A and B are shown apart, each in its own frame.
Chain A
């Protein structure tokens, strides 16, 4: 290899890796695997960790490279396994799985300092890519701390003192990370952000989170146990009362016997229906976390349309671009209103009454019976349905039993157990069957009101489905059939509320709710710090719009100042210099002699002075001569006097008590 013939003048690197750097390297790679574990299959992470552990054990006992054929097999196997799992080597998860696998293969062949440095660099990059999956405060801090083993490995690759251990290896990295944090933060603020990505659509194939655009039994179920934050809402005035916190996302019009789909609402861009606002408007701003969907949730009936959004005929907001990043918008909403009270257009009315043929005959019969009893009163039919849910032996349970082909019939007459989806679905079906225009609404309901920071925290677990029915003269009216259910079975709800204040099922959640204030700050100030916010950075200094050029100049100044300050700090001599014990002892001795009137002259050397002292103090002459010789030897004849000898001299000076005998 070329490496062995290093050109003259370069350091010949001890090419084999010691035990300490190799252990730290394994720790670094383990950290990277841990950072990617949340979004990779558990068995895949476990397999890579096992290979890493086997490599660690192998090198501990036989310090050499893993055989070439095994490495080649691994190199081929990693992409094959990933393609087998994900179907393609492209996409975020598949890419992360491949690079994690390759990193472990790289450890298999890491035997030299140079290999180890390359592996560590590779690990840094993969560590950063873990943040593409999760930008939350907690995760970012954890990944940031993983820089410590990275820097410790780099340090361990360099020579160290005898007995150099992992603690000493960690030291420079932690000091440097802490010391350079201010500069890193300033750099973060000043590095000009891109308004548009340079390449690629970053969220191609990204996992969609939150509510989806269809509703079949069980779709929301997984969401209801998900405590991830969906959005945060700050109100200009007082927040609406708890029973009014319904955030509409999208409306589902079409029922195919099994699932509810958007139907005409998604197909026909009708103008927003007329709305007759009665009470005061509620003004608020929403911070919606990336959902990779288009729905922009708004309280009840939004009146205006934020920038970049469209309003549907049913007064729902729809973003023109997928929401791939945290989105903030301001809306005015009405909670006391008459929505489309004048009468429905024929097309809309037909869509709101449409039911598939050949499904659920018993439910249809029930609805027909209600219609016959109630005559022309739609309100009575609504009341009948709610009474059925309240008194008919229905129970709320997230662990709903599976339903057959006639899902509404099965639910209404057999299982009688379910959650918001089942109730909204069955209720809307019954209304349509009875001839009342009805539709399903999917959104969020409830939330945690943070009284300290004045905002409403909505988690995915707050996802909810309810209905709207159209009543003559009152327009579309919200009906939440789930709220009528009296019997709640909290088994296995895992902290889900779904309109109920379940309470107590997750002791940790209240604390999470309170601590969410930090996450909110993180989301708004750090994750949401984009080119627009950055351009307002110099606002306090009277600069309206900071250009990339200004930011660049500021960044250069910061780098220059940071390096200058760093150089100044680095050139300081150690503050606590151990004092010269020998000189101190000699001063002490001279002070003792001076008390007896023997003072060293300015031009008098120590040798002469002590001889003179010995002459003046015959009782102490021998001790003085010995001290004098010892001092001269230690000071002038020894390059680095042994510390114990200096200590001995100091001790003797301390014990020396000269007396002048007066004759």
Chain B
């Protein structure tokens, strides 16, 4: 190990410190996160570069024509536009993300995040937060220091909140200041809903059925997961796709039973999606239901929001 004189850190340490400061905001941090001056970046926008060119042209013209009044005007405009950089920077300076609250979203939908910033009684009208490449304006005012952004989701389960870029181009759109915030927080994404998850099917095994009459109600298109026994073969022969027989529901009050084991012949994710879809429908119809999971753990019966979220969370967390 090379002997460094005390007080003079080695090159490696310096590089490490530099990279740490450079990476600040890129590694997950626990909230609250404050954007201090070391982590605000600022560059001119394309319009800003255009105006810089304009100022150079004006300067050259005023100097060439030895016109001091024009030069004074150019200096005033240039100084004001350059000083606008400080206002842009001030938009972000000291911005503190205090807490983050995730709402719920099904996979492939955008997940709303409620961001609460510390109210420091400042106007930050131009704030915009980019999460996974989508810019979302979220102006803050004194007394209104909360914002809402949405995050793209691509699979169910626990997901780390992605890196967010907070930026502003106020007041003149000539500079863009930005800073990175990566909250060390995970959010739960519910399973994907299939487009054709309706209507809620029932388990039709007679001896396992808890609910249900078997009065024939009509025909509908076949969806993956429908019991093969329900296929109306004769009717299907007249169409170019399969039709299944529908039966009327049981009397209200009798819980529906959504059983993992009842769904066969489809892959695991589709199964989860189908169950989630049924849970959704039952919840919308305010019909009590029981969800039986892979490990034969049964949830319910109930029909309230807590049960609904418990069921969807359980499905989301399945391995």
Q: Does B159 contact A (CB under 8 A)?
A: no
Asked if B64 and A198 sit within 8 Å, CB to CB, the answer is yes
- Which DSSP category, helix, strand, loop or mixed, fits chain A's interface? helix
Contacts of A114 in B (CB 8 A): 47
A151 and B72 CA atoms in complex are apart in Å by 17
A144-B73, A183-B79, A566-B83 as given contacts; A159 in contact with B66, CB under 8 Å: no
Stretch of A8-16, A354-362, A423-431 contacting B (4+ beta carbons < 8 Å)? A8-16
Contacts of B69 in A (CB 8 A): 131, 135, 139-140, 143, 526-527
Asked if B173 and A157 sit within 8 Å, CB to CB, the answer is yes
Stretch of A104-112, A189-197, A306-314 contacting B (4+ beta carbons < 8 Å)? A189-197
Q: Does A529 contact B (CB under 8 A)?
A: yes
Shortest CB-to-CB span from B104 to chain A, Å, is: 19
Q: Does A176 contact B (CB under 8 A)?
A: yes
A180 and B79 CA atoms in complex are apart in Å by 6
Q: Does B199 contact A (CB under 8 A)?
A: no
Asked if B121 and A158 sit within 8 Å, CB to CB, the answer is no
Chain A residues numbered 160-192 whose CB sits less than 8 Å from any CB in chain B: 160-161, 172-173, 176-177, 179-181, 183-185, 187-188, 191
Partner of A121, one of B50, B68, B130, B169: B50
Asked if B63 and A188 sit within 8 Å, CB to CB, the answer is no
Contact with B along A587-631 (1 / 0, CB 8 A): 000000000000000000000000000000000000000000000
A132 and B170 CA atoms in complex are apart in Å by 33
Residue among B71, B99, B123, B130 facing the most chain A CB atoms (10 A cut-off): B71
Contacts of B94 in A (CB 8 A): 571, 573
Chain A residues numbered 287-321 whose CB sits less than 8 Å from any CB in chain B: none
Asked if A172 and B171 sit within 8 Å, CB to CB, the answer is yes
Stretch of A122-130, A224-232, A413-421, A468-476 contacting B (4+ beta carbons < 8 Å)? A122-130
A124-B54, A158-B169, A172-B87 as given contacts; A193 in contact with B72, CB under 8 Å: no
Asked if B73 and A574 sit within 8 Å, CB to CB, the answer is no
A128-B70, A135-B68 as given contacts; A193 in contact with B128, CB under 8 Å: no
Residues of A within 8 A of B (CB): 8-12, 113-114, 117-118, 121, 124-125, 127-129, 131-132, 135, 139-140, 143-144, 147, 150-151, 154-155, 157-161, 172-173, 176-177, 179-181, 183-185, 187-188, 191, 193-194, 197-200, 202, 325, 526-530, 562-563, 566-567, 569-571, 573-574, 577-578, 639-640, 643
Contacts of B80 in A (CB 8 A): 147, 151, 173, 176-177, 180, 184
A11 and B145 CA atoms in complex are apart in Å by 22
A499 and B128 CA atoms in complex are apart in Å by 71
Asked if B76 and A197 sit within 8 Å, CB to CB, the answer is no
Asked if B171 and A158 sit within 8 Å, CB to CB, the answer is yes
Residues of B within 8 A of A (CB): 37, 47, 50-51, 54, 57-84, 86-87, 89-90, 93-94, 99, 116, 119-123, 125-126, 128, 130, 133, 135, 137, 139, 141, 143, 145-146, 167, 169-174
Shortest CB-to-CB span from B171 to chain A, Å, is: 4
9 closest A-B pairs (Cβ-Cβ)? A180-B79, A184-B79, A172-B171, A135-B69, A154-B172, A8-B133, A570-B86, A184-B75, A131-B70
Asked if B90 and A194 sit within 8 Å, CB to CB, the answer is no
A8 and B134 CA atoms in complex are apart in Å by 7
Partner of B63, one of A139, A155, A191: A191
Identify the closest chain B residue to A183 (Cβ): B79
Contacts of B70 in A (CB 8 A): 128-129, 131-132, 135
A121 and B54 CA atoms in complex are apart in Å by 7
Could you jot down 15 A-B contacts, CB within 8 Å? Answer: A131-B67, A132-B65, A132-B70, A147-B73, A155-B170, A155-B171, A173-B80, A184-B78, A191-B63, A194-B64, A194-B66, A200-B64, A529-B68, A562-B79, A574-B120
Asked if A570 and B172 sit within 8 Å, CB to CB, the answer is no
Asked if B64 and A151 sit within 8 Å, CB to CB, the answer is no
Shortest CB-to-CB span from A609 to chain B, Å, is: 26
Contacts of B146 in A (CB 8 A): 639-640
Asked if A567 and B116 sit within 8 Å, CB to CB, the answer is no
Additional A-B contacts beyond A128-B73, A140-B72, A640-B119 (13; CB < 8 A): A129-B70, A132-B65, A144-B72, A155-B170, A176-B87, A176-B171, A180-B83, A181-B79, A185-B75, A191-B63, A198-B63, A562-B79, A640-B145
Asked if B84 and A172 sit within 8 Å, CB to CB, the answer is yes
Identify the closest chain A residue to B119 (Cβ): A640
A247 and B99 CA atoms in complex are apart in Å by 81
Asked if B72 and A574 sit within 8 Å, CB to CB, the answer is no
A132 and B78 CA atoms in complex are apart in Å by 19
Shortest CB-to-CB span from B66 to chain A, Å, is: 6
Contacts of A563 in B (CB 8 A): 82, 86
Asked if A125 and B63 sit within 8 Å, CB to CB, the answer is no
Asked if A188 and B170 sit within 8 Å, CB to CB, the answer is no
A124-B54, A172-B84, A198-B64 as given contacts; A639 in contact with B72, CB under 8 Å: no
Contacts of A147 in B (CB 8 A): 73, 76-77, 80
Asked if A159 and B58 sit within 8 Å, CB to CB, the answer is no
Contacts of A129 in B (CB 8 A): 61, 70
Contacts of B37 in A (CB 8 A): 567, 571
Asked if B68 and A125 sit within 8 Å, CB to CB, the answer is no
Shortest CB-to-CB span from A618 to chain B, Å, is: 39
Shortest CB-to-CB span from B180 to chain A, Å, is: 13
Asked if B93 and A188 sit within 8 Å, CB to CB, the answer is no
Shortest CB-to-CB span from A159 to chain B, Å, is: 6
Contacts of A569 in B (CB 8 A): 86
A121-B54, A566-B86 as given contacts; A177 in contact with B76, CB under 8 Å: yes
Identify the closest chain A residue to B176 (Cβ): A11
Contacts of B90 in A (CB 8 A): 570-571
Asked if B173 and A143 sit within 8 Å, CB to CB, the answer is no
Identify the closest chain A residue to B63 (Cβ): A194
Partner of B139, one of A161, A562, A574, A577: A161
Asked if A125 and B57 sit within 8 Å, CB to CB, the answer is yes
Shortest CB-to-CB span from B162 to chain A, Å, is: 13
A567 and B92 CA atoms in complex are apart in Å by 13
Partner of A9, one of B73, B83, B130: B130
